[in-house]
Structure 1
């Protein structure tokens, strides 16, 4: 369930020793709902609102645009998940926000964190596909959150990807300034990475995971949100 900033806690607290995962949502209901729908599809405790709850700040700035402002919201949400919802674990579907992973763990040490980037890398390594391509925000690419061995887009294509990401979300049209649809830009970028030798492509952004067509190219697309969903399901099983 998605809770706006300041909403009163309604979820039942987890029993002693029972894992309860808090998900830090972002400003866009479409991607928040997409992620929670993936959890629900896994069934079992992953679909139980008493075991998994989302706290969403609908005024949270994009982490790729205002990372400091994003962290202020993340910290507030993490404390709310701990204090108001009785969560034992916290995670966030936003890859770019993982720049704050260690700091958040230090600031709120009572909660265990589930690292989406690491879980996705583990999935890719188990599949044995290398090299991996990466579709993500420009900031995520520059921070090398996914390591230095990724096949990344050209500078021109990366700028288009960032524009595509910023064109989607609440109140946005999903169309770039030149009239191209964001889904078309993301699909073209995936094909470019395939042509550059990527054996699989990580969708390393919540918005990209939601909007990139799954038939964009001939190699597997590995959605980080799916990896996190499975990790949450395993945590609360």
Structure 2
């Protein structure tokens, strides 16, 4: 078994899900007392969130590169960034280390293949929805179309991520808002919805909606397990 490096803590609420699913996956594959070999660098998210709000991506990148180098030095054979938004600087992080970065776009594409979907609705932070660091590789590498909600709905999703989900607040009212947005995107032709923030899967479950969901935590874990096993 190879050793997986994780950049986590963004937020730790979803990093817990990564750790649990990785270990369950290895146990299911190998049986007995087997668990996933992991080296984790878990950040203090508050300074990163502040830097993102100030559009100071240079500082964000420097902090993540420090973490990536630390897991590489700790013996990791590959690296995952346990958050969608920070894939904005995935290329810079990959350039700074000598181990492969298992990219979220490849994980999402795997989920799209499983659901037989070619047109995806994307939810996440404003950075993830409005910039192309995920939608572009999905289009260019896999031929997948991506749609996003309108500006008012994007604002609701973005604020709920930072004000609620990253703080462990799971509210029925917010879930109802997400369900409405998801059903609207399905009506616009989305064949599956990408939960493109690793906390959204804590709020919205497959039984809540009529369209398939691609939970990026689950999809990313499956990609990582394929590598380490």
TM range (shorter): 0.7 to 0.9
| Structure 1 residue 211, shift from structure 2 partner | 2.2
Deviations along 1:11-30, whole A, 9 cap, x unmatched?
xxxxxxx6211011024332
**Do the aligned partners of residues 181 and 202 (structure 1) sit closer, same or farther apart at CA in structure 2, a change above 3 Å counting?**
same
**Alignment pair present for 1:30 and 2:13:** yes
1:211 matched residue in structure 2: 203
**Alignment pair present for 1:53 and 2:43:** no
Structure 2: state its 5+ residue gaps: 140-144
**Do the aligned partners of residues 154 and 36 (structure 1) sit closer, same or farther apart at CA in structure 2, a change above 3 Å counting?**
same
Structure 1 range deviating more: 152-161 or 35-44: 35-44
Normalised to the residue count of structure 2, the TM-score between the two structures is 0.82
Normalised to the residue count of structure 1, the TM-score between the two structures is 0.79
| C-alpha distance in structure 2 between counterparts of 1:228 and 1:171, whole Å | 22
Structure 1: state its 5+ residue gaps: 1-17
2:142 matched residue in structure 1: none
| Structure 1 residue 70, shift from structure 2 partner | 2.8
CA-based RMSD of the aligned residues comes to 2.5
Counterpart mapping for 1:1-237 below 5 A? 19-44=2-27, 48-49=35-36, 51-59=37-45, 61-62=48-49, 65=53, 67-83=57-73, 85-108=74-97, 110-125=98-113, 127-144=115-132, 145-147=134-136, 149-169=145-165, 171=167, 173=169, 181-237=173-229
**Do the aligned partners of residues 235 and 106 (structure 1) sit closer, same or farther apart at CA in structure 2, a change above 3 Å counting?**
same
Q: Give the helix-richer structure, 1 or 2.
A: 2
Is the 8 Å Cα contact of residues 39 and 233 (structure 1) preserved in structure 2? yes
Is the 8 Å Cα contact of residues 202 and 224 (structure 1) preserved in structure 2? yes
| Structure 1 residue 187, shift from structure 2 partner | 2.2
How many pairs were matched up? 213
Deviations along 1:117-155, whole A, 9 cap, x unmatched?
122113313542132111111111221222362121111
**Do the aligned partners of residues 218 and 172 (structure 1) sit closer, same or farther apart at CA in structure 2, a change above 3 Å counting?**
closer
Structure 1 range deviating more: 162-171 or 223-232: 162-171
| Structure 1 residue 79, shift from structure 2 partner | 1.1
| C-alpha distance in structure 2 between counterparts of 1:222 and 1:120, whole Å | 7
Is the 8 Å Cα contact of residues 64 and 138 (structure 1) preserved in structure 2? no
| C-alpha distance in structure 2 between counterparts of 1:139 and 1:115, whole Å | 17
| Structure 1 residue 174, shift from structure 2 partner | 5.0
Q: What stretches of structure 1 move > 6 A for 4+ residues in a row?
A: none
Structure 1 range deviating more: 221-230 or 202-211: 202-211
Report the 3-state secondary structure (helix = DSSP H, G, I; strand = E; otherwise coil) of the residue aligned with 2:41: strand
**Do the aligned partners of residues 185 and 171 (structure 1) sit closer, same or farther apart at CA in structure 2, a change above 3 Å counting?**
same
